Structure 1
Amino acid sequence: MGLDDIARKPHERLTAHLAGDMARVNALIRERMASEHAPRIPEVTAHLVEAGGKRLRPMLTLAAARLCGYEGEDHIRLAATVEFIHTATLLHDDVVDASAQRRGRPTANLLWDNKSSVLVGDYLFSRSFQLMVETGSLRVLDILSRASATIAEGEVLQLTASQDLRTDEAVYLKVIRGKTAALFSAATEVGGVIAGAPEAQIRALATYGDALGMAFQIVDDLLDYDGSSSVIGKDVGDDFRDRKLTLPVIKAVALASAEEMAFWRRVIEKGDQRDGDFGRALAIMDRHGTLEATRQDALGWAAKAKAALARLPSHELGEMLADLAGYVVARVS
């Protein structure tokens, strides 16, 4: 490994290592997001797909397959499938959340409208299932279709739990396992399946993806209180203003005094937010150490991801995946 490789961030090293495969994935994505009869579909899709995201999820599929020695073509289809599922969920999420910014750019629903975002998301889900079927693997179809259902289930659970102060850490973990970790886990698992890897390796890949996704989402939720807009691609405090009960707040509520509980009821349950409330929320979290406790939880999940990789063949891609788990949480270290 040269000095340039060492200087690169883990996802950049993955991108460089998988450049040939990713070029084919991107070409397939452009081909399948085309529509002869509805030009708005590629317009809306391209706005997100070409927005400069890291393509982390499809890279996980490619890396898992290659790590297990795969030399075929179906990992390209599966990586494109994973990206289409992810993009479809983003389009739908931005409508549900009434978001105005995604990856530092205006959201599709803001530039076009909610109807376009929902329908184009539906189109991408349909395209993703076409790609799954082309692999000829019922197991792959089962894994990715279950992940799609789990994602939707997680989002619905979040709707009912996010403004209810009775929501505890167990419910929060169910939400983020659905909305984020399920697709990470499926992305790595299908890579092992398509490569014909032994069952123990497939389980290890699924465990790695799950733990990486959990760490990833916990860090995202933490950065909303302890990050910067340039890092997270949205305004700091958006989750607070949207009254979302994420882990730092859940931990603070569990330790709240009567006065603090009255504050959380006002700003989260009733939505009565005033000037200075975000600063007060940060002060309460600081008092109880909930931001640091959340960071420790993220580090724990990253450690689980790294431990799962020990059950996989020795490979430079395995080292990159381990470094990726460390990098995900390094943003808040």
Structure 2
Amino acid sequence: MGVVVSFGEKADSGSIDRLVALVREDMGRVNETILARTGSDVTMIPEVAQHLISSGGKRLRPMLTLATARLSRYSGAGHVKLAASVEFMHTATLLHDDVVDESDLRRGKPSARKVWGNEASVLVGDFLLGQAFKMMVEVGSLACLDVLSTAAAVIAEGEVMQLAAAKNTATTEDEYLAVIRAKTAALFAAAAEVGPILAGAEPTAQKACRSYGLNLGIAFQLIDDALDYGGTAAKLGKNVGDDFREGKITLPVVLAFRRGSDEERGFWRAALEEGRSDDAALARAIELLRRHRAIEDTIERARHYGAMAKDALALFPPSDMREALDEVVDFCISRAH
């Protein structure tokens, strides 16, 4: 069912083209590393890994590692392995997420679990995590290893938090934001922070890049939440309404539930807690979200976090790379239009 919601006035559109151009050479080396590190005598491992890795993701997270390293005037080669590690961590979480969520689509094509089964998806995800940590050790920065390993633990905590909050309509906005800080934003933050750490930048620069990544990650996830109720399958890489059908509590739902009447809250409980979430229920959900401006306000909150991400980089002198990172924020927000 494709329901398109008007998000109101269009904001300035962003692009990641400048960032892609600035890190193109480094990303070529990252891609070579990814291909080399997914090799295995166990045939299923490269098959499953490449199914997802080659499926058209923008690789934004590893690009953040490369970009913040260059922003901090790093001149070595360790950022390539760290960027590949970040991408492997992200890919592993996607493989695991699809098993937990029982998702059939990922980036517009059948998910790995749909093709090879849940067991293979979980085990190949574990293999990629192992390879990620191996590369981190090879880089030889204990501080970078600390940041990325901490992120891995936080992401797992976020997944468990989301599992606990699933179908719980009493979830508050603060509780939900805590979930996405852990589940999504933690990897953005770590990816951006290890660049200046590797470059030996001042702690203020490290914290600034971490703040940029964290706030960008929150904005990114909030836009995804909005798109689930008003985007297209092409933009989402999954079916519109999947969050609703899976009983996920996202910010639009939190806002609409809080602002609704007793009767409307009864609808949300039946749909999300009891699983009465067919196409007719999805249409009703979208109508309630529009009535209470829940989608528009979710996007406004994303803009707020996006502004904080840009502010975090203000201590760096103007440069093409800084402007490119600013444009990444605009791009993440503009996906809602």
Shorter chain as denominator, the TM-score bin is over 0.9
Residue matched to 2:292: 288
Give structure 2 stretches of 5+ with no counterpart: 1-12
Amino acid at match of 2:267: F
**Paired residue for 1:26?**
31
Alpha-carbon distance between aligned partners in 2 of 1:23 and 1:287, rounded to the nearest angstrom: 47
Alignment-mate amino acid for residue 165 of structure 1: T
- Deviation readout 1:74-123 (Å, 9 max, x if unpaired): 00010000000000101100111111111111101111111110000000
Q: Structure 1's 254 and 196: CA in aligned 2 closer, same or farther, altered over 3 A?
A: same
Alpha carbons of 1:167 and 1:317: their partners in 2 closer, same or farther (altered >3 Å)? same
2:117 matches 1:113: yes
Q: Is this contact kept in 1: 2:14–2:334, CA < 8 A?
A: no
Provide the rounded CA distance (Å) in 1 between the counterparts of 2:219 and 2:192: 15
Distance 2:53 2:35 in 1: 9
Query: So what's the TM-score if we normalise by structure 2?
Result: 0.94
Q: Give 2:154's aligned residue.
A: 150
Bigger Cα displacement from structure 2, 308-317 vs 195-204: 308-317
Q: Which of 210, 213, 220 matches 1:206?
A: 210
Give the corresponding residue for 2:273: 269
Task: Report if the CA contact (8 A) 1:177-1:210 is conserved.
Answer: yes
Residue 188 of structure 1 and its aligned partner are, at CA, apart by 0.5
Moved more, 55-64 or 304-313: 304-313
* 1:285-324 alignment runs, 5 A limit: 285-324=289-328
Aligned to 1:238: 242
Map 1:95-106 → 2, pairs under 5 A: 95-106=99-110
2:18 maps to 1:13 = yes
> What displacement does 1:275 show?
4.5
Corresponding letter in the other structure for 1:256? G
Q: Secondary structure at the match of 1:179?
A: helix
Do 1:172 and 1:246's aligned partners in 2 also have CA atoms closer than 8 Å? yes
Range 211-220 or range 230-239, more displaced = 230-239
**Contact 1:64–1:205 at 8 Å: present in 2 too?**
yes
Spell out the pairing of 1:50-61 with structure 2 (5 A cutoff).
50-61=54-65
Distance 1:60 1:322 in 2: 12
* Structure 1 equivalent of residue 51 of structure 2: 47
**Residue equivalent to 2:98:** 94
Mapped partners of 1:127, 1:218: distance in 2: 30
Shift of 1:274: 4.1
- C-alpha distance after superposition, 1:296-321 (max 9, x if no partner): 10110110011111012322111000
- The CA distance in 2 between the partners of 1:57 and 1:65, in whole Å, is 13
TM-score when normalising by structure 1:
0.95
Instruction: Identify which of 225, 231, 238 aligns with 1:227.
Output: 231
Equivalent in the alignment of 1:162? 166
Q: Is 1:251 the equivalent of 2:270? A: no
Q: One-letter code of the match for 1:26?
A: N
The one-letter code of the counterpart of 2:18 is: R
Provide the aligned length of Structure 1 versus Structure 2.
325
Which amino acid is the alignment partner of residue 246 of structure 1? T
Does the 8 A contact of 2:271 with 2:277 survive in 1? yes
Deviation at 1:273, TM superposition (A): 2.8
Alignment correspondent of 2:84: 80
- Tell me, in whole angstroms, the C-alpha distance in 1 between the residues paired with 2:198 and 2:258: 44
Percent identity of paired positions between Structure 1 and Structure 2? 51
Cα distance in 2, alignment partners of residues 145 and 303 from structure 1: 28
Larger mean CA deviation between 307-316 and 191-200 belongs to 307-316
- Structure 1 letter corresponding to 2:301: D
Q: RMSD across aligned C-alpha pairs, in angstroms?
A: 1.2
Q: Residues of 1 paired with 2:277 and 2:289: CA distance?
A: 17
Instruction: Tell me if structure 2 keeps the 8 A contact 1:162–1:246.
Output: no
Distance 1:17 1:175, change over 3 A: same
* Aligned counterpart, 1:124: 128
Give the letter for the 1:236 counterpart: V
Unpaired runs of 5+ residues, structure 1, are: 1-7
User: How many angstroms does 1:9 deviate by?
Assistant: 5.8
Distance 2:53 2:304 in 1: 31
CA deviation after TM superposition for structure 1 residue 251, in Å: 0.4
